[in-house]
Amino acid sequence: MRIRVTTRANLFEKRKQQHIERGYRIEEERPIPVNGLCSFIAVSETSDSEGVGDLAAQALNGMAK
Protein backbone atom coordinates (compact mmCIF):
# COMPACT_ATOMS: atom_id res chain seq x y z
CA MET A 1 0.00 0.00 0.00
CA ARG A 2 1.29 3.46 -0.92
CA ILE A 3 0.08 6.68 0.63
CA ARG A 4 1.19 10.25 0.01
CA VAL A 5 1.73 12.16 3.23
CA THR A 6 1.52 15.94 2.96
CA THR A 7 2.50 18.02 5.97
CA ARG A 8 3.62 21.47 7.00
CA ALA A 9 7.32 22.06 6.44
CA ASN A 10 8.12 22.36 10.15
CA LEU A 11 6.59 18.90 10.84
CA PHE A 12 8.12 17.07 7.86
CA GLU A 13 10.90 15.20 9.72
CA LYS A 14 8.63 14.33 12.66
CA ARG A 15 5.90 12.88 10.41
CA LYS A 16 8.48 10.95 8.40
CA GLN A 17 9.92 9.45 11.59
CA GLN A 18 6.43 8.48 12.81
CA HIS A 19 5.80 6.53 9.62
CA ILE A 20 9.19 4.82 9.79
CA GLU A 21 8.46 3.74 13.37
CA ARG A 22 5.17 2.20 12.18
CA GLY A 23 7.01 0.09 9.61
CA TYR A 24 6.60 2.17 6.45
CA ARG A 25 9.36 2.63 3.90
CA ILE A 26 9.77 6.24 2.73
CA GLU A 27 10.00 7.08 -0.98
CA GLU A 28 9.84 10.20 -3.13
CA GLU A 29 10.69 12.72 -0.43
CA ARG A 30 9.88 16.33 -1.30
CA PRO A 31 11.36 18.26 1.63
CA ILE A 32 11.35 21.65 -0.12
CA PRO A 33 8.05 23.35 0.75
CA VAL A 34 5.60 24.38 -1.94
CA ASN A 35 2.95 26.72 -0.56
CA GLY A 36 4.24 25.80 2.92
CA LEU A 37 3.75 22.02 2.46
CA CYS A 38 6.17 19.12 1.98
CA SER A 39 5.35 15.51 1.12
CA PHE A 40 6.62 11.96 0.88
CA ILE A 41 5.31 8.54 -0.10
CA ALA A 42 4.96 5.97 2.70
CA VAL A 43 4.98 2.36 1.47
CA SER A 44 3.81 -0.62 3.50
CA GLU A 45 4.06 -4.18 2.28
CA THR A 46 0.81 -5.92 3.22
CA SER A 47 0.07 -9.60 2.73
CA ASP A 48 -2.75 -10.75 0.48
CA SER A 49 -4.64 -12.02 3.53
CA GLU A 50 -5.09 -8.49 4.83
CA GLY A 51 -8.18 -6.88 3.38
CA VAL A 52 -9.39 -3.31 3.45
CA GLY A 53 -11.50 -4.08 6.54
CA ASP A 54 -8.44 -5.29 8.45
CA LEU A 55 -6.51 -2.17 7.49
CA ALA A 56 -9.40 0.07 8.55
CA ALA A 57 -9.61 -1.72 11.91
CA GLN A 58 -5.88 -1.26 12.43
CA ALA A 59 -6.17 2.45 11.64
CA LEU A 60 -9.08 2.92 14.03
CA ASN A 61 -7.33 1.00 16.80
CA GLY A 62 -4.22 3.14 16.30
CA MET A 63 -6.29 6.31 16.67
CA ALA A 64 -7.86 5.06 19.91
CA LYS A 65 -4.48 4.73 21.67
Q: What pLDDT band is residue 63 in, cutting at 50, 70 and 90?
A: low
Average pLDDT, the chain: 86
pLDDT of residue 58: 75
Q: What is the DSSP letter of 44?
A: -
pTM of the model: 0.67
d(Cα 10, Cα 39) in Å, to the nearest integer? 12
- Contact (CB, 8 A) for 43 and 25: yes
The phi and psi torsions of 15 (rounded to 5 degrees) equal: -65, -40
- Contact (CB, 8 A) for 39 and 7: yes
Q: What is the mean pLDDT of residues 49-57?
A: 67
Count of residues in the chain: 65
Q: What pLDDT band is residue 11 in, cutting at 50, 70 and 90?
A: very high
